[in-house]
Amino acid sequence: MKSVAAAPEMTSAEPTPSWMTRSRTWVGAAAILLVLPHIPGLNADFGRSLLSQMGIAAVFALSFNLLLGQTGLLSFGHAVYFGLGGYATVHLMRAINHGLPVPVPLAPLAGAATGLLFGVLFGSVTTRRAGTIFALITLGIGELVYATTFMLPSYFGGEEGITASRTRGPALLGFDLGPQLQVYYVVALWAIIAAALMYAFTRTPVGRMCNAVRDNPERVEFVGYNTQRVRFVAFSAAGLFAGLAGGLHAINYEIVAADSVSALRSGTVLLMTYIGGVGRFIGPVIGAAVLTWLQASLSGYTSAWLFYLGLFFMAIIVFAPAGLAGLILMHRPIIRMPAFWRVLRAYAIAFAPALVMTIGAIVIIEMSYRLSTQPELGTRMRLFWTDIDAATPWPWLAAVVMIVSGFVVFRKTWPIVAQAWQQATTEASVAAGAR
C-alpha cells in the first residue's frame, strides 16, 4: 500500500499506484485475513478472538486517522461515535433476538448509520473550530456523552451496559456466529470493506482537500473551499466508520457498556493511531494490531500496563514521530543495499544494552507497583525467572545498576548504528543516481 498522507518527514508525493498494483494489494490483504485464523498459535479461540479485536481496533483507528493524519484534527472524544454505534447495534441485535428478521452480520450497518448521525450532529458544532480548541471541544463532547449514558439507564444500561445474543437470529449463508471463527470472518470482511472505503475516501476530491486543510487551512479558503465544511465532511465520515467499528465490537462481545464511549477508549485509539503512524494509511492498522496484542498479553501479567503504554507513546512522540509504520518504511530504500546487513548487525549490538536497561526499569516499576497497589500480596515476587524480595535493597540496587550501565553502553553503541545507516543511505543514493 502506498502512502496516502505524507509522513511528518515528508515522504509522500508518490504518484498513485497503478490499478493492477492497487488491486493486488487488496487481494493480498484479503488473502492474509483469510488464512490468519488458521496458522498455528492463532487457530484457537484465544487467537481468533485476539484477531477479531485487532480487526475492530484497526477499523476504529483508521477512522480516527481520517481526522488526525488526513485532516490534521486531533480528537479526544472519538469513542463517542464508536460507543453510540455499538449501542445502536446491540439494540438492533436485541430486536433480532426478539424476532426481527435481519441477519446479525448486517447489524453493524446500524452502528455505521448511528456513527454518521452523531458525527453530523456533533460535527456541526465541533468543526466550527480547529487546532487546540477543536481538541478541547471533542474532549468536552466526550465527557457530555459519557455522563449522559449514566443518566439514561433504559437506553444505555448504566455501568452494566446492554447485552444481546449474536446467535439468536436468522443465519446468513450458514453463518450463525456461534464459533469465534465465524465472528472473526464477519469482522474481517467488514474491516476490509471499511479499509477499502476509507482508502478510497482519501482519493476523492474532498479527501484531497482534507490533506490540503491539514497542510494549510488558510490557503484552502483562497482556492474556493470552506475549511469548516471540509472538516465537517471528514468528521462525519470518521463518525460513520467509528460507528461501524462499534457495531463489530457489539457483535464480538455481545455487550456494550459505558466504557465504550469513555475518555479512556478515546485515548486508546489516539495512542494506537499515533504509535502506528499517522502519516501512512497502513500506520493505524499496525498500531491497532500491536497495541491489542500487547494489551492482551501484558495486562494479565502486570498492573503497570498503562504505565508501559504511556512510556511507549512518549518514546514514539519524541524519537519516532512517524510511528512504527514510519520506522519500518524508513528501511525501504536501503533494504537491497549491501550495507543493510551492517545496519541489522548494528541493531543487534545496540539491542543488548537496551534490553539490560529495559529489564532494570521493568524490575523497578514492577516492584513499586507491587508495594503501592498490591501490598496484600507481600513483597516477595517472581520477575524474569528470579525470586526477589522488594523489601530488601538488593533488587533495587541491581535494577539501578542495570539501568545506568545499560544506558552508558547503549550511548556507546549508538554511533555504530548511525555509521551503518550513513553507509547504507550513501549506497542507496549512489544506486538511485545510477538508475
Partner 1 sequence: MLELATVSLLNGIVYGLLLFMLTSGLTLIFSMMGVLNFAHASVFMVGAYLSYQFARWVGFWPALVIAPLACGLIGAAIERYGLRHVHKSGHVAEILFTFGLAYLIEELVTMIWGRNAVANSVPAVIDFPLFSLFGSSFPAYKGLMMAISIAMFVFLYVALKRTRIGLVIQAALTHPQMVGALGHDVPGIFVLVFAVGSALAGLAGVIGGFMLLTQPTLANAIGPIVFVVVVIGGLGSLGGALIASMLIGILQTFAVAIDYSLLDALRAAGIAVTRASPLYDFYSIKVATAAPIVPYVLLVLMLIVRPRGLMGKRDV
Partner 2 sequence: MNAMAKIPDIEAAPTALELCDLHKSFGPTPIIRGVSLGIARGERHAMIGPNGAGKSTLFNLISGRFAPTAGSIRLNGEQVSGFPPYQLNRRGLARSFQVTNIFPRLSVFENIRCSVLWSLGYRYSFWHRVDSLRDANAQAERTLEQIRMTARRDVPAGVLTYAEQRALEIGITIAGNANVILLDEPTAGMSRREAANAVELIRAVSQGRTLVIVEHDMGVVFDLADRISVLVYGEIIATDTPEKIRGNKAVQAAYLDSAHA
Where along the sequence are the contacts to partner 2 (CB under 8 A)? 5-6, 10-16, 200-201, 203-209, 211-212, 214-216, 218-226, 229-230, 233, 237
Examine residue 373 and tell whether it contacts partner 1 (CB under 8 A): yes
Examine residue 232 and tell whether it contacts partner 1 (CB under 8 A): no
Query: CB under 8 Å to 32, separation ≥6 — which residues?
Result: none
Considering only 14, 28, 98, 140, the residue that binds partner 1 (CB under 8 A) is 140
Please report, to the nearest 10 degrees, the dihedral formed by the alpha carbons of residues 67, 72, 73, 74 taken in order.
Answer: 100
Q: Between 142 and 277, whose beta carbon lies closer to partner 1?
A: 142
Site string for partner 1, 272-291 (x = CB under 8 A): --x-----------------
DSSP line for 1-53: ---SSPPTT----PPPPPHHHHHHHHHHHHHHHHHGGGSTTTSSHHHHHHHHH
Using DSSP's 3-state secondary structure scheme, residue 294 falls into helix
In this chain, which stretch among 137-145, 326-334, 341-349, 380-388 interacts with partner 1, using CB under 8 A?
137-145
Q: Closest distance between partner 1 and the C-beta of residue 25, in Å?
A: 29
Examine residue 399 and tell whether it contacts partner 1 (CB under 8 A): no
**DSSP letter (8 states) at residue 381:** E
Q: Which of 81, 76, 103 is nearest to 92 (CA)?
A: 103
Q: Which of residues 154-173 bind partner 1 (CB under 8 A)?
A: 154-155
The shares of helix, strand and coil residues in the chain, as percent rounded to the nearest 5, are 75, 5, 25
Contacted entry of partner 1, partner 2, none for residue 293, CB cut-off 5 to 8 Å set by kind: none
Q: What's the one-letter identity of residue 195?
A: A
Strands (DSSP E) found in 309-390? 380-383, 386-389
Q: How far is CA 305 from the centre of its chain?
A: 16
Contacted entry of partner 1, partner 2, none for residue 237, CB cut-off 5 to 8 Å set by kind: partner 2
Q: Residues binding partner 1: what is the number (CB under 8 A)?
A: 49
**DSSP letter (8 states) at residue 249:** H
Q: Closest distance between partner 1 and the C-beta of residue 274, in Å?
A: 6
**Which residues pair with residue 153 across a beta bridge?**
none
Q: Between 133 and 355, whose beta carbon lies closer to partner 1?
A: 133
| List of residues contacting partner 1 (CB under 8 A) | 8, 68, 72, 74, 76, 125-126, 128-129, 131-133, 135-137, 139-144, 147-148, 151-155, 263, 267, 270, 274, 304, 306-307, 309-311, 313-314, 317-318, 321, 365, 368-369, 372-373, 375
